[in-house]
Amino acid sequence: MRLTTKGRFAVTAMIDLALREHSGPVALAAISARQQISLSYLEQLFGKLRRHGLVESTRGPGGGYSLGRKSEEVTVADIIVAVDEPIDATGCAGKENCMGEDTGRCMTHDLWASLNSKMIEYLDSISLRKLVDEQLAKGISIEEQPVKRAISTQPVVKPIKITAPNSVFALGGAAFSK
């Protein structure tokens, strides 16, 4: 089994999101900037995470993503499976036809199948909450105030300075006076 960037980035982004879960919805652009992960790639991953109920999306000003379940209820295995990351060390993807359609399993099939179950068991034993707590114990800094993305309630008043003529006649007169 080889964990690709898809699984690694999904787990990293979910930790980032869970660290900020009490600040309201988190914009993917903010996660992208903090974790140096492509925004378009995050959008793809979060679409899959949303379909599996691991995150919820909020549209509009101040929108973004929040956890779909409590962080202690989400495991690393949930995240990896949600983004279609295969957790399989067998050469046959569990079909037991390692040596070809007619010859059946290879001699090491049971070894790799056993490894698969141990990996899933291990990844299923680690909650998102545990990973967040580890980051907090390491002293990761989280912004005190979330970035405000909503429209301000105070209108912006700027004086308007008109430099153009205010009528067609004045425009024509301005052209002849020069």
- Tens digit of each residue's pLDDT (9 = 90 or more) over 111-122: 888 888 898 899
Is a pLDDT exceeding 90 seen at residue 39?
A: yes
Location of structure tokens 């660290």: 19
H or E element in which residue 58 lies: strand 55-58
pLDDT of residue 172: 65
Confidence of residue 156 (pLDDT cuts 50, 70, 90): low
Q: What would the pLDDT profile of 69-81 be if each residue is shown by its tens digit? A: 999 999 999 999 9
State pTM to two decimals: 0.73
Whole-number Cα distances in Å, 35 to 10, 32, 141, 157: 11, 5, 13, 38
**Average pLDDT along the chain:** 82
**DSSP letter string, 100-163:** -TTT---TTHHHHHHHHHHHHHHHHT-BHHHHHHHHHHTT----SSPPP-SPPSSPP-------
